[in-house]
Amino acid sequence: MAVQPWGQQPSPFGQSPSPYGQPWQPAHTPQSAMRAAHTDRERAVDVLKAAYAEGRLSAQEYSQRFDAAHRAQTYGELGALVADLPAGPMVAPFGAPVPVVPPTFLPPPMPVRRRMNPVAVTSLVLGVSCFATGGLTGLPAVITGHIARSQIRVRGEDGDGLAMAGLIIGWLSVAGWALLLTLMLFAAAAGS
């Protein structure tokens, strides 16, 4: 058997012993003993800067804590530097329990945007096209407007205003055609 360069002998069971314990056992490191990253140190420095700007720390105390924050190796060391400041404890590492925010401090929920009814859009387009077609699309605008309003009530969709606009323009077009036909009939009856 060959000797490994770090001085450990291979295990007789085929696996070499790990200097860190068994590989299948999780490390039981308390949160305060976990190693801090550069971003953790920067967060602590931000808390210190805010406390100094608010007059909570003297220049000398700020300088001492600033230097200690950059030398800190663990969360416990960083937490001790900001524990007496109102900014609160450090942000917890990944996997730590997250504090629950009371519902009064949560932002209001975003309104749920409802789906636009496509038949309502069709009704409005047909109603507006009455002006270009001389009112020929008025009756289809009325029909699609009524269908759209029925679907909107059942499905809870948006577009009631569009359907209503298509209905109004369509009914005005139908009324205009009815008035025109009535006047033509009276004119034909009066002429004979």
* 88, 123: one domain: no
Please check whether residues 87 and 43 belong to one and the same domain.
yes
Any domain includes 37: yes
**Same structural domain for residues 185 and 127?**
yes
Nearest-angstrom CA–CA distance, 185 and 192: 11
H helices present in 32-159, as ranges: 38-53, 59-71, 75-82, 118-128, 130-133, 138-155
Q: CA 166 to CA 164: how far, in whole Å?
A: 5
Is residue 187 located within the same domain as residue 126?
A: yes
Statement to judge: residues 123 and 87 lie in one domain: no
Domain that holds residue 137: 118-191
Residues 81 and 140 in one domain: no
Q: Do residue 137 and residue 80 come from a single domain? A: no
The model's pTM: 0.42
Residue 174 lies in a domain: yes
Number of domains in the chain: 2
Could you tell me if 81 and 37 lie in one domain? yes
In a domain, 129, yes or no: yes
pLDDT digit of tens for each residue in the chain (192 aa)?
Answer: 454 444 445 544 555 554 554 554 445 556 677 888 888 888 888 888 888 888 888 989 989 999 999 898 888 888 888 888 875 545 555 555 655 555 566 677 777 788 899 999 999 999 999 888 888 899 999 999 999 999 999 988 999 999 999 999 999 999 999 999 999 999 988 887
pLDDT value of position 89: 46
Same domain for 137 and 87, yes or no, is: no
In angstroms, the CA 166 to CA 145 distance is 6
Q: Does residue 85 form part of some domain?
A: yes
SS3 content of the chain, % helix, strand, coil (to 5): 55, 0, 40
Q: Are residues 89 and 122 both part of a single domain?
A: no
Which residues is 35 bridged to in the sheet? 74
Task: Indicate if 133 and 184 belong to the same structural domain.
Answer: yes
Q: What is the pLDDT of residue 35?
A: 86
Rounded to whole angstroms, how far apart are CA atoms 68 and 62?
10
Looking at the fold, whether 35 and 77 belong to one and the same domain comes out as yes
- pLDDT of res. 105: 61
Distances, alpha carbon 110 to alpha carbons 100, 107, 113, in Å: 20, 9, 9
Q: Residue 176: inside a domain, yes or no?
A: yes
User: What per-residue confidence (pLDDT) applies to 111?
Assistant: 78
Distance CA 169, CA 162 (A): 11
Domain stop point among 78, 93, 108: 93
Residue 145: its pLDDT value, please? 95
Residue 64 is assigned to a structural domain of this protein: yes
State the Cα–Cα distance between residues 22 and 127, nearest whole angstrom.
77
| Beta pairing partners, 116 | 158
How many angstroms separate the CA atoms of 74 and 68, rounded?
A: 11
pLDDT of residue 102: 59
Position 186 in a domain = yes
Judge contact between 90 and 79, C-beta under 8 A.
Answer: yes
Residue 112 counted as domain residue: no
